[in-house]
Amino acid sequence: MSRKTKPWPSPRPIPTGVSFGTYHEALFRAVREFLADVKRAEREAHEEVENIRKKLGIPAVYQPDIHVERYSMAVQVLVAMTMEGAIDMYGVVKFGEEAARKTWKWFHNKGPGGKLQEMIKAAKGIDLDDDAEILQIVKKVFKARNAFVHPKSDETVFDDAGNPLRVRTEHLFPGQDGNHARAAYEDLSRFLRLLHDIDPDVGVFIYPW
């Protein structure tokens, strides 16, 4: 039977006497810790700017330094990892590890959002639109993640005056300041809340602890 016609597994009652490995819990804690590092690095960068102003009389302006950018990038990548782990956890709890692995093992062509979309349809009979909030959050988070972990090289051609003839920004890194890190965390928190609301029985295994 082809993949297109093969039925999805049926959801099972929440099992008892079973322990679930929740590696996304550790990732969630790491996100929180790196957010604290972002805040600390921002504070130190602001203090350095202020010292330059006072000592040298230079109108220095705060810019995220390499430490802020490093931690911001870590937060955004870890947010995607946490989200992917939560989606996988949902499938295991709802359908059982064997069924979840066999069914969605080769479902990567639709991405994490498409995988979650089909899981929810199989589990709850809810046919989420592609523009559903939870799927848009997944799309946004993984767009940033892919830009970080799968960067694509590009080239720009200039005219005789040194002006770019073509500017392509889709391959550039996302923002790496503190606000982008905090926004990614808010997206993760919202995602976990939405998933909990869609399926509360399973959501209790996934929601922040």
Q: ∠27-28-33 over CA atoms, to 5°?
A: 95
Tell me whether residue 8 is in a domain: no
The total number of structural domains in the chain stands at 1
Give how far the C-alpha of residue 205 lies from the chain's centroid of Cα atoms, to the nearest Å: 19
Each residue of 91-105: pLDDT tens digit?
A: 999 999 888 888 877
Tell me whether residue 10 is in a domain: no
Stated pTM of the model: 0.85
Tell me whether residue 93 is in a domain: yes
Tell me whether residue 176 is in a domain: yes
Residue 63 structural domain? 23-203
Q: Give start and end residues of each alpha helix (H) in 96-132.
A: 97-104, 111-124
pLDDT at 3: 42
3-state class (DSSP) for residue 158: strand
Each residue of 190-202: pLDDT tens digit?
A: 999 999 999 998 8
